[in-house]
Amino acid sequence: MRYKIAVAFWVLIAAGILSMPSISYGQAQSAATSVISGAVTTDKGEIRAVRVKATDTVRKIAYTVFTNKGKYQIYNLPSGAYQISALQDGFDSTNLSVELKAGETKTADLALKAKAAKSDVELADVDTVFPPGVARDILFKECEGCHSLEHIPWQKMPHRSEENWRIAINHMFEPLPMRAIPIVSPEAVTQEQRDLIAKYFGTIFGEDSPKRDLKLSTLNVNEEEISSAVWIQYALPPAGKNAAGAEIKRRGTHDIYPSEVSSNVWAVDTNTGSILGMDRNNPDYQERWREFLLPSPNKFSVHPHGIIESRGHVFWTELDHGAIGELDPKTGEVHQYMPPTPSAPHTLRADSKGNIWYSSL
């Protein structure tokens, strides 16, 4: 399926930095860099383009490459301690610890062992998971723009009654204690249309409905080409507390934006209600991150969503506050602007004159 490829590529962009063998991620390194290489074997079937992940346990940076004919190489690594494993759906991998000195090359061979299949979810085509009809037409037209078929988790969540689906759907169109303004305008989808979708979900994802998920086409990968890429991931800092002082268990990062004027990458955190800035040139995990907690009119997050940078300042939308935010990274000063018409601003862009434009659902 075409959207499968698009989603997979977007994951690479959103979760890390995709680069070629030189690992041009901007991080300061010693002149004598190191290499980890090896082979990946399996106890079942053929393996192609298996991911191999090496995590720097001190700097909290992970490097993932793909095998070519069962072999892999990770070049230009800083010296340090690494945890290495292979990643393949349906398999468990051996895990190895490797200590690298500057300029050293180490071999780390990995073995994959097939897991016992224990899934009770039926994999089926789109028309089976989402049967055609008026409700599906509304769903695909009005909802899929933000929640693509792979992003919609309804078929994976605990199944609900029609009434509980109706309550969940209506939350998108209603003010809530943490959200003064609905995420989607009530005029966008009528109550009659929402009831059709609730009935539709109550039938196909009801309490007694079979568990189904989309069966995806096999993604054919060119091993030789993809084995020349490196996917770099930077661990997020612990979540801590939000602006109201409430403990947050996990981060809820959403959009990211690489700076055009510095080595920073900006991200929104919907759970804590904060803006995160990461300096890709700083190898120190503790010092790499800056966090700016956003003022909130209640004890909940303002739910920052889209984010951009323009002329050295950072801008974002606040779904649950209905505002546009601005950050001056040099001073840490934050401004929140309320639009003249109450709305839930979504995605924003800047023009050549520095004006900020945004969409509203």
Give yes or no: residues 59 and 92 share one domain.
yes
Cα three-residue angle 187-189-195, rounded to 5 degrees: 125
Q: Of the candidates 232, 259, 274, which is a domain's last residue?
A: 232
Query: pLDDT tens across 213-226, in order?
Result: 888 888 888 999 99
> Quick one: average pLDDT of 168-177?
82
For 92-101, 131-140, 151-160, which range has the lowest pLDDT when averaged over its residues? 151-160
Quick one: 27 exposed, middle or buried, by C-beta within 10 A (0-12, 13-18, 19+)?
A: buried
> Quick one: average pLDDT of 260-287?
95
Domain with 138 in it: 126-214
The pLDDT-based confidence of 279 (bands split at 50, 70, 90) is: very high
pLDDT at 19 over 50: no
For 114-123, 142-151, 334-343, which range has the lowest pLDDT when averaged over its residues? 142-151
The pLDDT-based confidence of 154 (bands split at 50, 70, 90) is: low
Contact 275, 291 (CB under 8 A): yes
Give yes or no: residues 85 and 228 share one domain.
yes
Domain CATH code at residue 151: 1.10.760
**pLDDT at position 245:** 85
- Could you give the CA distance from residue 237 to residue 68 in angstroms, rounded to a whole number? 33
Query: pLDDT tens across 65-78, in order?
Result: 999 999 999 999 99
Quick one: 45 exposed, middle or buried, by C-beta within 10 A (0-12, 13-18, 19+)?
A: exposed
Q: How many CA atoms lie within 13 A of 145 on its CB side?
A: 8
Residue 17's identity, in one-letter code, is I
Give yes or no: residues 226 and 209 share one domain.
no
pTM of the model: 0.81
Neighbouring residues of 6: CB distance < 8 A, sequence distance ≥ 6: none
- Could you give the CA distance from residue 322 to residue 337 in angstroms, rounded to a whole number? 9
Query: pLDDT tens across 289-321, in order?
Result: 999 999 988 778 899 999 999 999 999 999 888
Domain count, the chain: 3
**pLDDT at position 46:** 85
Q: How many Cβ atoms sit within 10 Å of the Cβ of residue 345?
A: 24
Strand partners, 124: 214
- Could you give the CA distance from residue 228 to residue 311 in angstroms, rounded to a whole number? 34
The pLDDT-based confidence of 23 (bands split at 50, 70, 90) is: very low
SS3 assignment, position 85: strand
Give yes or no: residues 103 and 182 share one domain.
no
The pLDDT-based confidence of 150 (bands split at 50, 70, 90) is: low
**pLDDT at position 133:** 96
For the record, the structure tokens of 59 come out as 């700097």
Instruction: Tell me the DSSP string of 269-324.
Output: ETTTTEEEEEETT---HHHHEEEEEPP-SSSS---EEEEEEETTEEEEEETTTTEE
**pLDDT at position 138:** 92
pLDDT at 212 over 90: no
Give yes or no: residues 173 and 97 share one domain.
no
